[in-house]
Copies of this chain bind each other. A is one copy, B any other.
């Protein structure tokens, strides 16, 4: 087990390295921090920390930099979550309050997060799986052509065209609309298939085909759109990555373009607890020198989606975690209100 002071040394190394981007040596450490011991002692501690794999030297006779394992220890044991200043809180609220619709909320959130953390921000749209149905609308565009519009409690709207097997009268349409809504409004998406199963049977045989088509389109929409959408921003912050950045930045940009990868990144977080994945803890190999800080947000108690940031492993974890958590909270509030 590491002594108190050694942990303190590790904390100091992480803090200095995050600040300066340069390997930190024993002398500099004792100068900038009140450790109460001499450089030589610190050197011994560093040797131990290196043996344990928490820090490493880029080359012999350079200072030390934290390893992924070192950051992990720092995040788990040494660092808290730094709360935002109250001007920052006010700024968040003002910025998010002006949003007019869901797209706008998500867009503003992305920009906000990117600005606060000075890193790449990723915000997932509220997921349909955990949402409930606010309304299902059916419109007749042509005699045998319908449009299905699905509205969720989080304000998301999905629409689909439907070509009917047979013309479908206004009366039947109104009937279907009413029955459909009475069954599914307020219910969770996951429950919808069960709730509408026997609906076609109660219609005239001539309409039954169309009703089935409509229902299967609805179910399809539920499934298809469960594949999540997300928005990213702040990519220009990648340029502050470091000196060796041309080689780093490429795979990161590529990873950021693949929604699947990003969704996995955010998605692995279990429920609403904040997740920090550091360096090689990320499965994707383009992201082995980045860290991801993600957290769920939602309109109620339960998380409906995730948001987070992607940055270099050398990041200000307490500050970033504070910003991510705060933004998630406010977005949750906004969604709950609307």
- Which residues from chain A sit less than 8 Å from chain B, CB to CB? 100-101, 103, 134-135, 137, 139, 141, 147, 149, 151, 155, 157-161, 224, 229, 233-236, 238-239, 245-246, 249-250, 253-254, 256-257, 338
Return chain B residues, CB-CB under 8 Å to A100: 160, 224
Complex Cα distance, B229 from A101, in Å, reads 13
Q: Known contacts A157-B157, A157-B159, A239-B249; is A139 also within 8 Å of B137 by CB?
A: yes
Q: Say how many copies of this protein the assembly contains.
A: 2
**Cβ of A278 to closest chain B Cβ, rounded Å:** 23
Establish whether residues B135 and A147, one from each chain, have CB atoms under 8 Å apart when the complex forms.
yes
Return chain B residues, CB-CB under 8 Å to A134: 141
**Cβ of A170 to closest chain B Cβ, rounded Å:** 11
Establish whether residues A236 and B224, one from each chain, have CB atoms under 8 Å apart when the complex forms.
no
**Cβ of A84 to closest chain B Cβ, rounded Å:** 23
- Which residue from chain B places its CB closest to the CB of A174 in the assembled complex? B174
Return chain B residues, CB-CB under 8 Å to A155: 159
Q: Which of B101, B135, B137, B159 contacts A160 (CB 8 A)?
A: B101
Complex Cα distance, B235 from A29, in Å, reads 39
Complex Cα distance, B246 from A201, in Å, reads 65
5 chain-A/chain-B pairs, Cβ below 8 angstroms: A137-B137, A139-B151, A147-B151, A149-B151, A239-B250
Return chain B residues, CB-CB under 8 Å to A253: 235-236, 238-239
**Cβ of A188 to closest chain B Cβ, rounded Å:** 18
Return chain B residues, CB-CB under 8 Å to A246: 239, 245-246
Establish whether residues B161 and A137, one from each chain, have CB atoms under 8 Å apart when the complex forms.
no
